[in-house]
Chains A and B, each alone.
Chain A
Amino acid sequence: EVQLLESGGGLAQPGGSLRLSCAASGFSFDMSALHWVRQAPGKGLEWVSAISGGGDRTNYADSVKGRFIISRDNVRNTLYLQLNSLRVEDTAVYYCAKAMVIDAFDFWGQGTMVTVSS
């Protein structure tokens, strides 16, 4: 059974940092691209970032480029998202999602809430 479990969310001040983790199991971790998708309270889904199975290719939304860093540990089967220079508008539930061979997201975690506020 595929499982994705996010952690690391919480309250941060504007300009602060957080590191999100997504522990994965039940599939070939190093063969799967992984993504982060966020959802601000009461709003729609926003794609944030992606990383290839080997970790050598990454992509970011313009809204987070230069501030967030996606990475993965294929030994620990864990995906990460380092959130730096946080802004109020980064407040959202952050989901990790597994991509199929194509970039459709067939499994999602339950999300971790990030609140940026002074």
Chain B
Amino acid sequence: DIVLTQSPATLSLSPGERATLSCRASLGISRYLAWYQQRPGQAPRLLIYDASNRATGIPARFSGRGSGTDFTLTISSLEPEDSATYYCQQRNNWPRTFGQGTKVEIK
């Protein structure tokens, strides 16, 4: 199985700051990586698919990049509503797998 390792586990930043989240795959997965946001008590929401494509309705402050084994999700200027846990997910191999998540806290 492909293991996705996310770092850091927790990120604590102030509104307006830039957040950089990392996802590393145990094997190359081309660009077949998605990012999700999950706020407490809610279902996950798709942010980015295929490494860099924003899903419908996702604000431009969210961007993704990467290929192979190293991927990054960037939130350019944090808003209070960005407080959430973020997960990466690969679709290159079965079984599909998720990373363990990065929790973003807004100070």
Contact = CB atoms under 8 A, between A and B. Distances in A.
Interface of A: 35, 37, 44-47, 50, 59-62, 95, 100, 102-106, 108-111
Contact of B96 (A44, A47, A62, A110): A47
Interface residues of B, number: 25
Contacts of A62: 1, 95
B46 A105 contact: yes
Interface of B: 1, 32, 34, 36, 38, 43-46, 49-50, 55-56, 85, 87, 89, 91, 94-101
A43 to B, nearest CB: 9
A23 B49 CA distance: 25
A59 B94 contact: yes
Contacts of B49: 100, 102, 104, 106
B34 A104 contact: yes
The interface centre, meaning the residue of B32, B43, B45 with most chain A CB atoms within 10 A of its CB, is: B43
A45 B89 CA distance: 9
Nearest to B99: A44
A108 B45 CA distance: 7
Contact of B91 (A45, A104, A109): A104
Q: Which of A35, A60, A102 has the most CB of B within 10 A?
A: A102
Contacts of A37: 44, 98
